[in-house]
Amino acid sequence: MRGIRKSFPGVVALDGVSLEVRAGEVHVLLGENGAGKSTLMKILSGALAKDDGEILLGGEPVSIPGPREAHERGIRIIYQELNLVPHLSVAENIALGREPGRLGWVDRRAQDHEARQRLGRLGVEIDPRAPVGELGVARQQMVEVAKALEGEPRIIVMDEPTSALTTTEIHELFATIERLTARGVAVVYISHRMEEVTRIGHRVTVLRDGRHVTTRAISEVTVAELVKLMAGREVTEHFPRRRTPPGEEVLRAEGLSRAGVLHDVSFTLRRGEVLGVAGLMGAGRTELARVLAGADRPDAGRVLVQGRPLAARGPKDAIERGLALLPEDRKTQGLVLGLSVRANVALPSLPRLAKLGVVDEAGESELAQRQTDDLRIRTTGLAQLVGQLSGGNQQKVVLGKWLAADVDVLLMDEPTRGIDVAAKVEIYELMNRLTAQGKAILMISSELPEVLGMSDRILVLARGRVAAELQARGATQEQVLAAALGQAS
């Protein structure tokens, strides 16, 4: 790709970017949230039209007017925001966009068989008949990967493929990537997880503010250098947790059970504390958060907020009692994409902002502005629609809206997923500030360094049960993993 330009109203997303990708390499594309990574890849995959520049495949200039042409040329992309059809089955999603059999017949058996085989090759077992919408984000991600491997791919773009995956699945994905590159397929890999970059990347290109900064062999740069190149400044201190003595108890779970997902889960959370929740995919972490937030009802057990049981009246009661959930899947649960940044941030604060039923617009703007400043959300203004922000910046809006809502307990499900390295540190700083103000945080995270670095205590779940409760200080990744795998330590 040479001299690629792309503008959106009010922003230059790509300002003459060039990218050269070789057969058989894993080319990592790095950059802060909003740097232009997804936009560049959407142009390659025909999802977006470029304003200027050229694309060459095997040295030949090509035009890629749409996704179909990209597909025909062997370009596959796994989008950052998953693109599956929720009410269709796994097998149907994998087969989607391909020609049906003769006479327009769809052979369901063959379709299911193929889906099962492909997923099997990725090392995952998923029922091909299950509607995709009923799968967790991680499993949906694996379905996307299986779908991308269809036909004879030449270039596969993976836009943050591991953001929803846990250790074992990441391992399988990396094995798949190695098989692909060995066959000469080029992989463009976008991730904010620096340890992955050095593990599987051959070369790396850094983008900043829509410009090409550098392209290097991974073996020639350090992570610290890359972070600095991305941010354009020095970024220090990865996990700046400042622990404070905890205050009174704000949240207590007593024997929470839910058929098939949670078994007798109990814990307490005190003011000023960060309780990390670790576990493998399917361990019940997200289910726990949903029960705590009143989104799902427990079959047994109860949730107490400041000593009083939470009424089983759904999320509304939890919010009124000062409990907020930052969901794992913000695309469907956290944001209204067709509304402005201002409206999204202010949404949960409306009862407080409305005087006699009339929303105080100046107050709304002030509130939204404070959050966009604090979290450095990259927008053209508060009126910009959330759907037009980059993935990481959408994520920051979800955080901003609950931070603004002034709740006592924040249930964060993967709070830094898709967030760039520098912005992660800002979110950690915010967590410090919130706990210093006496708020309590329950943080579910698949990133062990984050769990160890930012928690005070760690609850490890395995198959819906509490496998261990550890003090974070002095705990090791091995200890947490062993507990998560259900091994006695």
Chain positions contacting ligand ATP, by CB under 6 A? 8, 11, 13, 31, 33-39, 80, 378, 388-393, 420
Q: What's the order of all strands across the beta sheet hosting 300-305? A: 262-270, 249-258, 300-305, 308-309
Q: How far is the CB of 81 from Mg ion (least distance, A)?
A: 9
Q: How far is the CB of 216 from Mg ion (least distance, A)?
A: 21
User: Using CB distances below 5 to 8 A depending on partner kind, what does residue 35 bind out of ligand ATP, Mg ion, none?
Assistant: ligand ATP
- Which of 221, 302, 296, 317 shows the shortest CA–CA distance to 256? 302
User: Using CB distances below 5 to 8 A depending on partner kind, what does residue 378 bind out of Mg ion, ligand ATP, none?
Assistant: ligand ATP
Q: How far is the CB of 40 from Mg ion (least distance, A)?
A: 9
In the complex with ligand ATP, which residue's Cβ is closer, 79 or 402?
79
Q: How far is the CB of 205 from ligand ATP (least distance, A)?
A: 12
User: Using CB distances below 5 to 8 A depending on partner kind, what does residue 96 bind out of ligand ATP, Mg ion, none?
Assistant: none
- Which of 417, 425, 430, 445 shows the shortest CA–CA distance to 275? 445
9 Cβ partners below 8 Å, 6+ apart? 380
In the complex with ligand ATP, which residue's Cβ is closer, 210 or 276?
210
In the complex with Mg ion, which residue's Cβ is closer, 35 or 177?
35
The DSSP result for 273-286, as a single string, is -EEEEEE-TTSSHH
CA distance linking residue 200 with residue 218, whole number of Å: 9
- Which of 370, 249, 269, 251 shows the shortest CA–CA distance to 322? 251
In the complex with ligand ATP, which residue's Cβ is closer, 201 or 392?
392
Radius of gyration, CA atoms only, the chain: 23
Count of CA atoms in the C-beta half-sphere (13 A) of 456: 21
In the complex with ligand ATP, which residue's Cβ is closer, 421 or 483?
421
- Beta-ladder partners of 385: 340
Q: Which residue is nearest to Mg ion (CB)?
A: 38
In the complex with Mg ion, which residue's Cβ is closer, 36 or 279?
36
Whether the CB-CB separation of 145 and 122 falls below 8 Å is answered with yes
Q: How far is the CB of 387 from ligand ATP (least distance, A)?
A: 7
List alpha helices for 293-390, DSSP H. 315-320, 330-333, 341-346, 350-353, 361-374
CA distance linking residue 341 with residue 280, whole number of Å: 33
CA distance linking residue 122 with residue 213, whole number of Å: 34
- Strand, coil or helix: 4: strand
Q: How far is the CB of 142 from ligand ATP (least distance, A)?
A: 20
Q: How far is the CB of 425 from ligand ATP (least distance, A)?
A: 15
User: Using CB distances below 5 to 8 A depending on partner kind, what does residue 8 bind out of ligand ATP, Mg ion, none?
Assistant: ligand ATP
User: Using CB distances below 5 to 8 A depending on partner kind, what does residue 393 bind out of ligand ATP, Mg ion, none?
Assistant: ligand ATP
Judged by the rule CB under 5 A, the positions of this chain that interact with Mg ion are: 38, 80, 390-391
CA distance linking residue 65 with residue 439, whole number of Å: 51
Q: Which residue is nearest to ligand ATP (CB)?
A: 392
User: Using CB distances below 5 to 8 A depending on partner kind, what does residue 201 bind out of ligand ATP, Mg ion, none?
Assistant: none
In the complex with Mg ion, which residue's Cβ is closer, 181 or 395?
395
In the complex with Mg ion, which residue's Cβ is closer, 190 or 458?
190
